[in-house]
Amino acid sequence: KQEVTQIPAALSVPEGENLVLNCSFTDSAIYNLQWFRQDPGKGLTSLLLIQSSQREQTSGRLNASLDKSSGRSTLYIAASQPGDSATYLCASFLTGGGNKLTFGTGTQLKVEL
């Protein structure tokens, strides 16, 4: 069974700081790895999706990397803003695992003025 772990569980940083969120997974037979954002009272929003053959994806101030062999992914947020405050979740799609995402426990980020 795929286990997905995210570290740290919570993070508080001052505005403008660059930061890295970590995600590790036990089964490297993944089809892809996704990063989501969850705001209180709202659903999840997909941020970045990295296919298993890719090493990284970028969108604006966000950069996600994937190292299948070590079972790790990182989400890098540049020049953080208060609007980035949310819970960030990574999720993997296993090869042959059916059409379901396996999520990590999330990192709760707070960016302070």
Partner 1 sequence: GAGVSQSPRYKVAKRGQDVALRCDPISGHVSLFWYQQALGQGPEFLTYFQNEAQLDKSGLPSDRFFAERPEGSVSTLKIQRTQQEDSAVYLCASSLAGGPLDTQYFGPGTRLTVL
What does the binding site for partner 1 look like in residue numbers (CB under 8 A)? 4, 6, 31-32, 36, 41-46, 49, 89, 91, 93, 98-106
Rounded distance between C-alpha atoms, residue 54 and residue 28, angstroms: 14
Q: Which is nearer to partner 1, 15 or 104 (CB)?
A: 104
Q: Which is nearer to partner 1, 74 or 105 (CB)?
A: 105
To the nearest whole angstrom, how small is the minimum distance from the Cβ of residue 15 to partner 1?
Answer: 26
To the nearest whole angstrom, how small is the minimum distance from the Cβ of residue 102 to partner 1?
Answer: 7
To the nearest whole angstrom, how small is the minimum distance from the Cβ of residue 85 to partner 1?
Answer: 17
Q: Which is nearer to partner 1, 18 or 26 (CB)?
A: 26
To the nearest whole angstrom, how small is the minimum distance from the Cβ of residue 112 to partner 1?
Answer: 22
3-state secondary structure of 84: helix
Distances from the Cα of 107 to the Cαs of 10, 35, 36, 65, 71, in angstroms? Answer: 5, 11, 11, 17, 18
Rounded distance between C-alpha atoms, residue 47 and residue 90, angstroms: 10
Q: What does DSSP assign to residue 99?
A: S
